[in-house]
Amino acid sequence: MSTVPSRASYGALLAGFRASAVARRDALSEAAAQLRRDRGAETADDEHDPEGVTLSMEWQRIEGLRLAAERDLAEIVEALTRWSVDDYGRCEGCGRSIPMERLRVRPAARRCVPCAERVGG
């Protein structure tokens, strides 16, 4: 039998995830802003400037990562909202506690592994 984690330990887990998601989002925002400045400093002529093309691709890559970080952060915030009303860590499928090991990997998970596999995610 595994012990059921306390509500406080879920809160600590989520707070940690939120802090790292915020840090990642902020770092990527800063990287995107820096690239924008670099591009602004160069000519805006991406098509004829090899350096401009490279910056464009880098910008797209960072912007994609930034959006993913925003999405992760939104999921964590949503999970924290569930936690605040004492509805976090319970499987929507079977109603049992979602194992802590799963929540450590996917803090915003709404279902235990067997239920998630049944519904395909």
Tell me the closest approach of the beta carbon of residue 104 to Zn ion, in angstroms: 17
Short-list 17, 12, 10, CA closest to 97: 10
Interface map 90-109 toward Zn ion (x if CB under 5 A): -x-xx---------------
**Residue placing its CB nearer to Zn ion in the complex, 21 or 109:** 109
Tell me the closest approach of the beta carbon of residue 20 to Zn ion, in angstroms: 27
32 binding Zn ion? (CB under 5 A): no
Instruction: State the residues that interact with Zn ion by CB under 5 A.
Output: 91, 93-94, 112, 115
